[in-house]
């Protein structure tokens, strides 16, 4: 039941129904998800469906993409001297509204991680820069993080926006903040 940005082989409500259907049929159901099921993994929605049907379950935590990808790319999410906090955000909101507090996100001292954020990187960068983030703030795109096919680009935010189209349509993680400069792949401008 793989998913890609804008291309869901099986819609989430059907996945929920299948989980319930097979469990009610007496089968032992295992739902394997990449990353942590409760960090933009829709695990919460699946749990709600199981709870509503009175089905017992166990959730096994995973390593969220933000942590795995950042570490694989040599990017600390926090650092005593550079970023005291980290925030995870979806690159696309469910209703496509622009509900982020961009002024708060542009403040220094934090690492911002946008899941599935590559396609909206121009908008994200425009908003952050308009609200005070320096255009040369270190930023990275990580694709297939922790896999043999992993690829990443790390440079200043404005330059990354110009490179993003060559990245292609694949989903990826966008990491923005001073800690990106610590990566071995950071391209100094």
List, for residues 110-122, the tens digit of each pLDDT value.
Answer: 999 999 999 899 9
pLDDT attached to residue 82? 97
Give span(s): CATH 3.30.950.10, the chain. 65-182
Residue 79 CB-density burial (10 A; 0-12 exposed, 13-18 middle, 19+ buried)? middle
Q: Tell me the whole-structure pTM to 2 decimals.
A: 0.86
CA 161 to chain centre: 17
**Can you give the pLDDT at residue 33?**
82
Bridge partners (DSSP) of residue 15 are: none
What CA–CA distance (Å, rounded) separates 117 from 178? 18
pLDDT for the residue 55: 95
The tokens of 153 are what? 């680009």
CA dist., res. 97 & res. 2, Å (int):
26
Using the 8-state DSSP alphabet, how is residue 20 labeled?
A: H
Fold topology of 65-182: 3.30.950
Query: In angstroms, rounded to a whole number, what is the distance separating the alpha carbons of residues 171 and 25?
Result: 35
Cα angle at 87 between 70 and 109, to 5 degrees?
90
C-alpha 49, offset from chain centre? 24
Q: Which residues does the chain have with pLDDT short of 70? A: 1-8, 93-97, 188-189
What confidence score (pLDDT) does residue 170 get?
A: 82
Rounded CA-CA distance 100/126 in Å is 13
Q: E-assigned strands of the chain?
A: 3-4, 7-8, 85-90, 110-115, 138-143, 151-156, 173-176
pLDDT at 125: 96
Distance CA 107, CA 45 (A): 32
């Amino acid at each position: 039941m793989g998913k890609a940005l804008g291309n869901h082989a099986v819609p989430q409500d059907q996945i929920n129904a299948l989980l319930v259907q097979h469990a009610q049929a007496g089968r032992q159901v295992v739902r394997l998800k990449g990353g942590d099921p409760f960090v933009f993994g829709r695990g919460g929605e699946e749990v709600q469906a199981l709870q509503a049907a009175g089905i017992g379950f166990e959730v096994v935590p995973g390593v969220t993409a933000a942590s795995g990808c950042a570490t694989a790319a040599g990017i600390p999410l926090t650092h005593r001297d550079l970023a005291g906090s980290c925030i995870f955000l979806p690159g696309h909101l469910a209703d496509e509204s622009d509900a982020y507090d961009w002024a708060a996100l542009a403040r220094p001292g934090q690492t911002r991680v946008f899941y599935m954020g590559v396609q909206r990187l121009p908008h994200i960068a425009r908003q952050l820069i308009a609200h005070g983030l320096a255009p040369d703030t270190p930023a990275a795109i990580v694709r297939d993080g922790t896999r043999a096919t992993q690829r990443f680009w790390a440079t200043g935010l404005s330059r990354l926006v110009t490179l993003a189209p060559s990245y292609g349509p694949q989903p990826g993680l966008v990491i923005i903040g001073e800690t990106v400069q610590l990566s071995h792949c950071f391209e100094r401008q």
